[in-house]
Structure 1
Amino acid sequence: MAVWDGGPDLAGVVGRVLATAQNGLEVLRFGGLETGTEPAPFAVVETHKMFRLRRYFPNEPSTGPNIVLVPPMMVSANVYDVTEHNGAVSILHRNGITPWVVDFGSPDSEEGGMERNLADHVVAISRAIDLIVEATGRDIHLAGYSQGGMFAYQTAAYRRSKGIASLITFGSPVDVLAALPLGLPAGLVAPAAEFLADKAFSRNLWVRDWMARTGFQLLDPVKTVRSRIDFLRRLHDREALLPREDQRRFLEADGWVAWSGPAIAELLRQFVAHNRMVSGGFVINGDLVSLAEITCPVLAFVGDADDIGQPAAVRGIVRAAPDAEVYESTLPAGHFGLVVGSAAGQHTWPTTSDWVNWLSDNGPRPELVSEMSLVEPGHGGGVSLSSRITHGVGSVADAGTAASRELLGLANSLQRTSRAVASESVRTVPRLFRLGQIQSGTRISLSKLMAENTKRGGDSELFLFENRVLTHAQVNARIDNVVAGLVDCCIRPGQHIGVLMDTRPSALVVIAALSRLGAVAVLLAADADVREMMRLADSTVIVTDPTNLDLATAASDRVLVLGGGSGDSRAIDGADGTSIVDMERIDPDEVVMPTWYRPDPGLAGDLAFILFSRAYGKLVPWPVTNHRFAMSAFGAASAAALTDRDTVYCLPPLHHASGLLTTLGATVVGRSRIALSNGIDPANFAVEVQRYGITVVSYTWSMLSGIVRDPDFHINQHNPIRLFMGSGMSAGLWEDVCASFPRARILEFFATADGSAILANVSGDKLSSVGRPLPETNPVEVAAYDIVGDRLLIDDSGFVRRAETGEPGLLLAKAKHKFDTNGTVLRDVFTTRDRWEVSGHLFVRDADGDLYFLGATDRVLRTADGPVFIPPLTHALSRLTSVDQVVVYGVGEPGHQVVVAAMTLRPGVKPDSLTVTQLRIALGEYRADARPHLIHVVDEIPKSASFRPLSTGLVEEGLPKPGPRVWYRDDDGRYRRYTRTVAEKLDWTGSRTSDALG
């Protein structure tokens, strides 16, 4: 029988036990094994409240390129020097590059550190760049890992790439919501991030270093547990553990720092909830910034197994920075492995060195760098199951988790429609419910809604203008100050006050201040008869800005001036005998508010605004109650699906319904940001869309023609615009806007002059349709109508007959509230005891129930052959590819009018390119006698301040004279050249044309 004598096997076991105990004791005492490695030498060359600037290898001359390395907020700056030979700074230095590192320290141990926000970090990096550029006389290469790379992007955009030779990022997401860690759905993460930003971290909650470490480890708990088990199993083999010991200690102990609450809140709000890295419009130090302003080359490192900086999110930089040359380098690594470890030492940092030297003309283009391909959002790009398995995260448990996530992703994709409907319902139902609850005594007004938004999120941005940002709280304070000034000027609740101002923040503040006071804002148009408007509105006081002061003093004897600054050099002069008050010189703190003052007293039945329209060629006041305003604002916000993640570009003037109701009103209801512009300019439009992060553009009439039809207009095709909303757009311009912005849709509104009917083409898929009534607004019907006899048609039962599909009729709106009725109300119309307001507008309904506008009853052209509707002809001719603006009008007496269409051509189009065949095809769906008698090309068609093409001057000129740019319609509906000989022979009206002209 063999006897074990405790030979070499026993000695080996004992040796392993002793080695394990010895190494374990060292780990317990010192946190890890002593590796004997030394950190790379560096000197702190600048100490700032926000950072310390390290220059590595300070005793060696800096003759080559300079690179600035930025760590994430939660990771120590030592991340770039974790291992002695494979660390970033060492490899870069060996390749002739001078490394600099921005060290933010740990905010919990820095003075004021827990008050830091994201903007502080970006401004600090920008300051460091200035210091290095000034010291070396060279542009630098800016690099960042994870959130440090996000900082790098933001800093480059903030500086407009000044002083930056290139950007290099490692696992840094740009389109954050395109692919989230753990496959989390963006639809859930974005609202959650917003909630946490507003309710948690804004209240001084912060993340400690151990919490950051734990959170990182929980992103891949299986790998974390496996790594620790592997370390314990090898604890006896010191030589096997030492090569990875520095990396392990960094990950599990030394590498983490705290996050300040404000920085986390801003990260969650701006770059997760609102995803403004890709859409633009984020705020840095009070300036609006967009990655679209990055122009230097970009190299992004992508990890195939990176579940934090997912490939799809990282590749979002292609869409976000269209003017930059963007490259990528892909490697088989997870998030941390991109910058630390063997893969980083063999791939990341040598490739980074080659990139820097290539751009410095010191070497060829790196072999492992390629142009980044464009991946559309929602088309994959997450970390796949195969990548997880291949790169060591494919244990059975982890594989099951990953597979489950991919299956869940597939299920989510299949159910995206139902999710979208549910998401819209969450936003829309409460709005419509509140709208449905409004009664005559309900307190509701523009200023009350703005005050509610301030209470909900005072620090959120509200106005964007001239690259400036004003928060809800700042605007609310300004409104209160203007209210004090109005009270000091003896303005009382209920008083009608004219507002004659350009579309600027001060104009919106004045309108809101009048609402807060309980006064009525009379919205005046500078291109109309201001004195007549004031008379019709029973108003004697005008609030104006310096730009419109002369117009205001000519129309009123009492003028209040606001806006334009308040310096000593400000000179406010007016006409003799005019009382002018410069409100900027009133100190609101010195105003004693009267006892009767109550903020936001407006009730639903109270008059809030007076707008103006035209009927039979005359100005007509359009009274708008607070309820009418709420109907438009809530309905438009719901139709446009506006949220606080939207930025609305307000282009229309505020005296137009699209500016006041469907832009300002809807934006306030949606709690969206409002961006204002100084004018309609193609280049400025393209810049501000990206810089402000515009998602919704409001318009009126032909406003967008000068943008999309400008030969030099160019905009990033991946711009954030999702919607255009407004009224009056022609069919041809509609098609051009859709062609220029293929991912956006058009939401066309229509509101009657008294506001009783509010329609919208919510689907956006029917050209020139105004759709259906908005939810919770008044129902409408199209009543059968005798246009010639100007009367409603009655059926056999004695009630008014509803118009058939395709039959022109008169629009009636059901009168829900007696307190909110401005126009003529008919009773017992379709049934007993019903009440309907008469709109004065003609419509036709298609088989789907969608409505098409045919014009006001007083605008129908009455020819010898019968009535002719202007809007359909305008839409048809506007679709000609050579045509820019179109107006259709009548010449002569009603019953014998000649229908004339005037057109301007697009820039660069010659008149002879327009053929008679094109005219006939454009009007082919209309009967011959419903087409214009004459069509002519003119050099210019005047436009109103709201960009509505005007025909008044052309009507006064009478029939166009014969010439090469004029065509007439023959009896078959074909068009021919209109010559003098033809003009003498034609008979349009039952008498010879020459006789008709007198």
Structure 2
Amino acid sequence: MALGLNTGAVGNQLRRAVATAQNGLEVIRLGGLETDVTPSSFQVVDRKPMYRLRRYFPESEPSGPPVVLVPPMMVSADVYDVTRENGAAGILHAEGIDPWVVDFGSPATEEGGWDRTLADHVVAISEAVDTVREHTGRDVHLGGYSQGGMFCYQAAAYRSGRDIASIVTFGAPVDTLAALPLGIPANVATRGAEFLADHVFNRLAVTGWMARTGFQLLDPAKTIKSRIEFLRQLHDRDALLPREQQRRFLAMDGWVAWSGPAVAELLRQFVVHNRMMTGGFAIGGHIVTLAELKVPILAFLGEVDDIGQPLAVRGIRRASPRSEIYETSLRAGHFGLVVGSTAATHTWPVTAEWIRWREGLGPRPHEMATMTYDEHTVSDSGVSVGNRLVHTAASIAEVGVGVGKGIAAAAAGAVRGTREISSEAVRTLPRLARLGQLQPHSQISMGRLLAEQARKAPAGEFFVFDDRVYSYAAVDERIDNVVRGLIAQGVRPAAHVGVLMETRPSALAAVAALSRIGAVAVMLQPGGDTATALRLGRVSVVVVDPDNLANAADLGVRLLVLGGGDSRELAEVDAENVVDLEAVDPSTVTLPGWYEPNPGRSRELAFVLFVGTDRGVEAKFITNYRWALSAFGTASSAGLDDRDTVYCLAPLHHSAGLLVAVGGALAGGSRIALSRGLDPDRFSSEILRYGVTVVSYTWTMMRGILESSALPAPGSHAIRLFIGSGMPTGLWRRTMDTLAPARVLEFYASTEGDIVLANVAGTKVGSKGRPLPGSARVELAAYDPVADKFIEDERGFVRRCEVDEPGLLLGRPGPEVDANNAIMRGVFASGDVWVPTEAMFKRDEGGDFWFLGQKNSVMSTPRGPVHAQPIIDAIGDTAAVDVAVAYGVGEPGEQVAVCAVELRSGASLSARTVSDALGALLPHDRPDLVHVVSRIPIGRSFRPSDSALRESGLPKPGAKTWYLDPASGAYRRFTKAVAAERFAG
């Protein structure tokens, strides 16, 4: 009996060994076991070099709602039909849905496949939607797995939702930096992705085996487990066959190559810049954002998905605030969302229910909920600890790798839970070091900085305008062409050339081309006093755009017309004085021997800007060093880098546009977004569409914008910083409240000398901060603005101001003094040299500077000098006040200090409110009269003007005018009796 049992056992072992050998040989020869499973039938409806569009089950004449399924770049389109019974195509068809699949094929076998870009995939999906819409006559439901889901979001945004009924995604990350695989820290991921995009995938593609291996390495325990389980069951063909198609797909057949350019673009746009969240990603040269998408969305989340982690997937809720978004989760990893038994019983039936519900053909699916997006900590991922432990422990137990996997998971969690050291210094120090190395003879200019960026990243995005993006290489080529046109018209180095153009790409090209030649760009203001500016700027030739050509015809100078786009029309003007630069063929221009690209030296004049003052138009001369100081100073203090998009709200002819926005973006390697002008609706749309992170402003520019109902809600935009100068304190606070969490970085840049102050911390609203590194050394000199003289000490030197004492701002010049600046010697000590400004400041105990106003704005009252800016700041902090100015009325020494305010729409002001607001000032510093006016004039630079109000004299008594009662220190209604008694003279 024992012998019989032993013989039977031996026979079983022998049969098992033979079966294992036979099955193993079949796997070795064929790559797997023959399953006799036939794929679902499909017809290729459209065939393009980029893709083939499959329609499944064409023989059944489907009449249900169409769904177009999109695979990731690295996965075969067969992922939706691994098995007919459990695959997406078969289940959806059985549920009455009309399934279509986009098949990108493999770059390795398609003509031009290795040159494919990310945009090519998105445009292909858009074309597929058009084809399906044409064939079925119905709007299309888009579905995408993993990166295919990202493509669906992008294609829908690219089409502005046209012809798309809904979007369904499966493990598709949107906020790619919120929860990275393996717990990789965000700053490590962005820098690593940037390196790979710029130095690896611009030369190397990802083959199919590399994609397969990379996917398996993301969860090595599960990979080892599945292989050991397969080997253990190799003798049992019946047990293996049900999962053989899925195993072969993952192990061999399911992976395709990625083209290098597509991977590089994916890393650059959606990891480095995270532009699925911020907006502003480029598709076919057009700027796209998810923020304007209004398409219903259903997102599937894997509870143990470490690739498309739930937190990253839920990013769509914040990225697309206007969409109706739902989610449904299942206990599955990344691949299990779309393939396998869980997908067959949950994913695809729920997808079919969703489509029927959206079509009005069935009830809302019970398995889904409205998606929410909660702020998260850096250690959060959206995959719960419990789910991860259960899932991981199950895998570990079966393959015996508990210790290694457990340690790896703990290490990953520790890394994810640790806040990284800020990389601010890494970005800032090289810029400051370069600024510190500049000498009078150093070569530095706008043209040189742009050329450096173009060499570093020719394919990088330089600027955005009218929803189109322009690369450094394209802009650099355009500038070189303009250079040839200008040289052909006799423009040489040091020539003063006017630029009379609206803010547009051709204006930026003109300014950069003049810098490249070494000429001086004299920035003329459209609609301003151009004749005076031409005289002050010593201009004999002007580059003008078609919009300003007619107004420039009578200036008596030669006009070079540039830009205007494809539909340009030139005004009828004197042909002798007009040359169309666009008609000049650059290839026919021979560059002269003297031409040296970007010859500008630090000490040399680069730009002439103009400001309006009470004395009329004044010219401000900007050297290359002064421009570089603003550029590198802005980039350093604002922390600008290639992840930023700087919105140039200020015009190019203004210092906030040319020096701060354009200069700072160039120095930081940031993308520039040019605006056609101040329009609240355009602003609201473009900041979302362009993914704007930094906005430049000047003075009261943000007033009208903050009143727009189209502004995004706080936290639903990417803006982190406003940079500029002159913003009133009340507007400053309203900007931060309305567009939170953005901060304000307020600058003060003197036009005399090289002084740049910046309130980098932003904690002291209204302060101008401290000198930037590289700025001139500054001092406050004791000064009597009424007598217009400095206050000296007992030795005859000028006295330095004490804390909180008003004084005139002075700057220490560099080794080579600018001839345009007034020079003072022997100021604080024998032989010292200083450049005086026109600005009055005080310095607080912390070392921060507070602007008091220009010295000619000081009110000379019987009680002494009264400064305008503290009054404006104090009353401007009142919620009812929109704009305020302060000015003196009367003869010097007898002036009445007056404050005029314009109220916000629907607001009112009371004597009590005025008293409370101005009570923050010492009695000596308060205005004598406060009155409400219907309108305070705003200049072209958005600076409030008091000229007309000052000329009109004292305000009339009335219910909206108050006077300072010296006895109580409060403000009371200004009556005729008070006027006759106190202000009769």
Matched, 1:914 2:909: yes
Superimposed CA distance per residue, residues 742-764 of structure 1 (whole angstroms, 9 cap, x where no aligned partner): 21111000011224210000001
Q: In terms of mean alpha carbon deviation, does 443-452 or 701-710 score higher? A: 701-710
CA gap 1:548/1:896 in 2 versus in 1, 3 angstroms: farther
Q: Secondary structure at the match of 2:301?
A: strand
Matched, 1:140 2:148: no
- Residue 69 of structure 1 corresponds to 69
Q: Secondary structure at the match of 2:58?
A: coil
- Residue 399 of structure 2 corresponds to none
- Residue 569 of structure 2 corresponds to 570
Q: State the alpha-carbon separation in 2 of the partners of residues 789 and 942 from structure 1.
A: 30
- Residue 462 of structure 2 corresponds to 462
- Residue 775 of structure 1 corresponds to 773
Counterpart amino acid of 1:808? P
% of aligned pairs identical?
53
Q: In terms of mean alpha carbon deviation, does 807-816 or 124-133 score higher? A: 807-816
Deviation at 1:956, TM superposition (A): 2.1
Deviation at 1:309, TM superposition (A): 0.7
Q: Secondary structure at the match of 2:209?
A: helix
- Residue 873 of structure 1 corresponds to 871
Deviation at 1:580, TM superposition (A): 2.2
Counterpart amino acid of 2:749? A
CA gap 1:587/1:716 in 2 versus in 1, 3 angstroms: farther
1:496-575 matched pairs, under 5 angstroms: 496-565=496-565, 570-574=569-573
CA gap 1:556/1:918 in 2 versus in 1, 3 angstroms: farther
Q: Name segments (4+ residues, structure 1) moved above 6 Å.
A: 1-5
Q: Secondary structure at the match of 2:298?
A: strand
Q: Secondary structure at the match of 1:764?
A: coil
Q: State the alpha-carbon separation in 2 of the partners of residues 940 and 563 from structure 1.
A: 37
- Residue 884 of structure 1 corresponds to 882
Which residue among 933, 936, 945 is the counterpart of 2:931? 936
Q: Secondary structure at the match of 1:842?
A: strand
- Residue 381 of structure 2 corresponds to 381
- Residue 275 of structure 1 corresponds to 274
- Residue 976 of structure 2 corresponds to 980
Counterpart amino acid of 2:299? A
Q: State the alpha-carbon separation in 1 of the partners of residues 245 and 608 from structure 2.
A: 73
Matched, 1:398 2:396: no
Q: Say if 1:815 and 1:821, in contact at 8 Å, map to a contact too.
A: no
Unaligned runs of at least 5 residues, structure 1: 994-998
Deviation at 1:986, TM superposition (A): 2.3
Counterpart amino acid of 1:884? D
Deviation at 1:84, TM superposition (A): 2.5
Deviation at 1:243, TM superposition (A): 1.7
1:334-373 matched pairs, under 5 angstroms: 334-373=333-372
Q: In terms of mean alpha carbon deviation, does 590-599 or 657-666 score higher? A: 590-599
Deviation at 1:930, TM superposition (A): 2.2
Which residue among 825, 828, 843 is the counterpart of 1:845? 843
Q: State the alpha-carbon separation in 1 of the partners of residues 395 and 427 from structure 2.
A: 40
CA gap 1:832/1:387 in 2 versus in 1, 3 angstroms: farther
Deviation at 1:292, TM superposition (A): 1.1
Q: Say if 1:686 and 1:715, in contact at 8 Å, map to a contact too.
A: no
Q: Say if 1:322 and 1:716, in contact at 8 Å, map to a contact too.
A: no
Q: State the alpha-carbon separation in 1 of the partners of residues 808 and 113 from structure 2.
A: 67
- Residue 700 of structure 2 corresponds to 702
Deviation at 1:832, TM superposition (A): 4.9
Q: Secondary structure at the match of 2:775?
A: coil
Q: Secondary structure at the match of 1:759?
A: strand
Deviation at 1:716, TM superposition (A): 6.5
1:323-722 matched pairs, under 5 angstroms: 323-378=322-377, 380-391=380-391, 392-394=394-396, 395-410=402-417, 412-413=418-419, 416=420, 419-420=421-422, 423-565=423-565, 570-574=569-573, 579-613=577-611, 617-711=615-709, 713-715=711-713, 717-722=715-720
Superimposed CA distance per residue, residues 581-611 of structure 1 (whole angstroms, 9 cap, x where no aligned partner): 2222222222222211111110111111112
Q: In terms of mean alpha carbon deviation, does 716-725 or 969-978 score higher? A: 969-978
- Residue 742 of structure 1 corresponds to 740
Q: Secondary structure at the match of 1:399?
A: helix
Q: State the alpha-carbon separation in 1 of the partners of residues 258 and 407 from structure 2.
A: 33
Deviation at 1:883, TM superposition (A): 1.6
- Residue 82 of structure 1 corresponds to 82
Deviation at 1:435, TM superposition (A): 0.8
Q: State the alpha-carbon separation in 2 of the partners of residues 615 and 158 from structure 1.
A: 47
1:13-162 matched pairs, under 5 angstroms: 13-162=13-162
CA gap 1:249/1:844 in 2 versus in 1, 3 angstroms: same
Superimposed CA distance per residue, residues 384-405 of structure 1 (whole angstroms, 9 cap, x where no aligned partner): 5432231244533222211121
Counterpart amino acid of 1:510? A
Which residue among 922, 945, 949 is the counterpart of 1:950? 945
- Residue 295 of structure 2 corresponds to 296
Deviation at 1:577, TM superposition (A): 9.8
Q: Say if 1:145 and 1:171, in contact at 8 Å, map to a contact too.
A: yes
Q: Secondary structure at the match of 1:462?
A: strand
Q: Secondary structure at the match of 2:264?
A: helix
Deviation at 1:32, TM superposition (A): 0.9
1:182-261 matched pairs, under 5 angstroms: 182-203=182-203, 205-261=204-260
- Residue 168 of structure 1 corresponds to 168
Q: State the alpha-carbon separation in 2 of the partners of residues 4 and 570 from structure 1.
A: 104
Superimposed CA distance per residue, residues 112-163 of structure 1 (whole angstroms, 9 cap, x where no aligned partner): 1111111111111111111111111111110000010000000010011111
Q: In terms of mean alpha carbon deviation, does 832-841 or 752-761 score higher? A: 832-841
Q: Secondary structure at the match of 1:318?
A: helix
Q: State the alpha-carbon separation in 1 of the partners of residues 938 and 659 from structure 2.
A: 22
Superimposed CA distance per residue, residues 203-222 of structure 1 (whole angstroms, 9 cap, x where no aligned partner): 3x111111110110111112
Superimposed CA distance per residue, residues 47-99 of structure 1 (whole angstroms, 9 cap, x where no aligned partner): 11111111111111222211110000110000001123111111111111111
Q: State the alpha-carbon separation in 2 of the partners of residues 5 and 348 from structure 1.
A: 49
Deviation at 1:361, TM superposition (A): 1.5
Counterpart amino acid of 1:181? P
- Residue 959 of structure 2 corresponds to 964
Deviation at 1:201, TM superposition (A): 1.6
Q: State the alpha-carbon separation in 1 of the partners of residues 365 and 612 from structure 2.
A: 68
Deviation at 1:482, TM superposition (A): 1.3
Superimposed CA distance per residue, residues 237-274 of structure 1 (whole angstroms, 9 cap, x where no aligned partner): 22221221111100000001111111111101111111
- Residue 996 of structure 1 corresponds to none
CA gap 1:148/1:528 in 2 versus in 1, 3 angstroms: same
Q: Say if 1:825 and 1:835, in contact at 8 Å, map to a contact too.
A: yes
CA gap 1:794/1:985 in 2 versus in 1, 3 angstroms: closer
Q: Secondary structure at the match of 1:636?
A: helix
Q: State the alpha-carbon separation in 1 of the partners of residues 615 and 866 from structure 2.
A: 18
Deviation at 1:668, TM superposition (A): 0.8
Q: TM-score, length-normalised on structure 1?
A: 0.95
Counterpart amino acid of 1:262? P
Deviation at 1:826, TM superposition (A): 2.8
